[in-house]
Structure 1
Amino acid sequence: MNPLSSRRKVLIVSESDTFFDNISSILPREQFFPIVHAKNGGNARRKLLESDFDILLIDCPLPDEHGVLFAENFCETNMGILLLVNADMYDEVASKVEDHGIITLPKPNSPQMFYMAVKMLSAMTLRLEKMETKNRSLQEKMADIRTINKAKWMLIENKKMSESEAHHYIEKKAMDERLSRREAAERIIEKYEL
């Protein structure tokens, strides 16, 4: 795997330049790049529309909103989301967002604790990406099967073939015309749907 493709893109949402600089210095560039800064929720939303990110770090509260609702708005994505909240609010916020798969850390905390949390988020997003790829592959296979079955039933109905004959007909058509079985089935469906 190309080391550059395994880098995780990070968006840090914080009003503070110092916070951004400190967090950026903790994250190794070989693993996390680019690291982008948004100073408020509105700016972060624009950046999220412009580009995909793997990890979203939110330093609560934001100047234009608290940050919890902002995080919840993006919990359906494959991004790993980490909320940093004041220690006195940690329990309340953590219990509210944990069902959404959002990780919460109290502020202040150690660079090691923060780095471990970001590494866990990185592993989680990688796992979600793999599951999504596998899911897409399974959906494609199911679509292939449905299309081929539809073509088989059209051949059975229109050409009075047996299921086995229809199956072999589709395979032969695919081989002869150098098509996938699904493409061959789609051509059969087009022919009989006219």
Structure 2
Amino acid sequence: MISGPLSGESCIQIANEVAAVFQIPVLLAVPGELYDQASYQCQEHRVFVILSPLQKLMTMQAIALIEKFSDQIRLLEKQIQKEQQKFKDEKMINLCKLKLIETYHWSEEKAHSFIGKKAMDHSCTKVYVAKVLLNRHQANT
């Protein structure tokens, strides 16, 4: 939370820098004459602008909302990372299937079942099998 006798531009700049560098939400309290300017300049960052002088109830409510917002952002970021990893894994498996199709002239179904069978036989994931097969293919070329 940033509040104090800082000049208008410096408190806005500090709030934006803190939010950007540390990837945390910032609560910025500004006087009424700076509210519109601060709101506009902070809209691209995780900076929440409130009016000063601060009222205890409003400040507590703002902090509670920011905590909830932060939790939701963290959850969404985890979901995005999970989906990105899933996409990378599928891409690797599909690349491996393509190499098997090209090398052995198999159908897509045969390549798919081959990778699945290898994964079951060796008690590992399809992604691991795909990585191993692709590494072998690169070593042989």
TM tier, smaller = 0.7 to 0.9
Larger Cα-atom Rg: 2
Question: What is the root-mean-square deviation of aligned Cα atoms in Å?
Answer: 2.0
1:116 aligns with 2:61: yes
User: Does the CA contact (< 8 Å) of 1:84 and 1:106 recur in 2?
Assistant: yes
Look up the equivalent residue of 1:59 and give its one-letter code.
S
Matched residue, 2:130? 185
Structure 2 counterpart of 1:72, from 11, 16, 20: 16
Per the alignment, in what secondary structure is the counterpart of residue 150 of structure 1?
A: helix
1:91 aligns with 2:91: no
Structure 2 segments unaligned to the other structure (5+ residues):
none
User: Does the CA contact (< 8 Å) of 1:148 and 1:182 recur in 2?
Assistant: yes
Q: CA deviation at 1:98?
A: 2.8
Matched residue, 1:153? 98
1:82 aligns with 2:27: yes
Q: Say which structure is richer in strand.
A: 1
Count how many residue pairs are aligned between Structure 1 and Structure 2: 137
TM-score (normalizing by structure 1) = 0.64
Per the alignment, in what secondary structure is the counterpart of residue 68 of structure 2?
A: helix
Structure 1 segments unaligned to the other structure (5+ residues):
1-56
| Superimposed CA distance per residue, residues 10-66 of structure 1 (whole angstroms, 9 cap, x where no aligned partner) | xxxxxxxxxxxxxxxxxxxxxxxxxxxxxxxxxxxxxxxxxxxxxxx1124559x82
Q: What's the % identity of the aligned pairs?
A: 26
Look up the equivalent residue of 2:10 and give its one-letter code.
H
User: Does the CA contact (< 8 Å) of 1:84 and 1:105 recur in 2?
Assistant: yes
TM-score (normalizing by structure 2) = 0.87
Task: Assess, with a 3 A threshold, how the Cα gap between structure 1 residues 74 and 170 changes in structure 2: closer, same or farther.
Answer: farther
Q: Say which structure is richer in helix.
A: 2
Per the alignment, in what secondary structure is the counterpart of residue 54 of structure 2?
A: coil
1:171 aligns with 2:116: yes
